[in-house]
Amino acid sequence: MPKRGKNYLESLKLYEKSKLYDAEEALEIVQKTGKAKFDETVELAMRLGVDPRHADQQVRGTVVLPNGTGKSIRVLVLAKGPKVQEALDAGADYAGGDEYVEKIQKENWFEFDVVIATPDMMGVVGKIGRVLGPKGLMPNPKSGTVTFEVAKAVNDTKAGKIEYRVDKAAIINVPIGKVSFGTEKLSENFKAIVAAVIKAKPAAAKGRYLRSVTISTTMGPGIKINGQKLMEN
């Protein structure tokens, strides 16, 4: 077992490890566990009652967090013609076509957090799929990052749109803001993502859907939340 730091051990004294907390109380506690010298991210982990090996039990989607993530998102838009200027006018950090694909291929350039592409660029984008895919950067229609509505996509991304997706262990991990947000803003973001995940429950999912719900800061311990209560709200 790895040796824990002083701050982590101090944080463990702030709550009962085995207790299932109401969301509001857990959010208040988690802010007190943010003892690092930087503004820690508050992260949400949900283990779902689904089997991700089956296509009809995939849980994936996007949600715009009401208060954003607290992180400045760098957006690259791969497009042609007037769509390039549309993207730049909407606030994209970079916008263009083949020149950026080549830059990624030849220079291993990754000064961006999200890639948005117009459908007519996907043939070109496919050339860098092998490097974008493992980093979770490949544009996808399901996440709204393959679209001709580039201005809306850029605006949504900059406003705090995040993608949630169940992994092989049936867990969804997403940021819900920064410790500095305070309880009210964190709560609004928390409710938005939980509502989206519950709404996305597959018809094929059987038994309890929210198996476990935990929040933590970047460097802090996990605090358990009563998932059953969330399903009832």
Mean pLDDT by 10 residues, the chain (233 residues): 68 81 94 88 96 93 92 94 97 96 95 96 93 92 93 94 92 95 96 96 93 93 93 81
pLDDT attached to residue 6: 76
pLDDT attached to residue 18: 86
What is the four-CA torsion angle of 79, 83, 88, 90, rounded to 10 degrees? Answer: -120
Nearest to 175 by CA among 217, 225, 121: 217
pLDDT attached to residue 53: 93
Three-class SS state of 126: helix
On whether the CB atoms of residues 139 and 2 are closer than 8 A, the answer is no
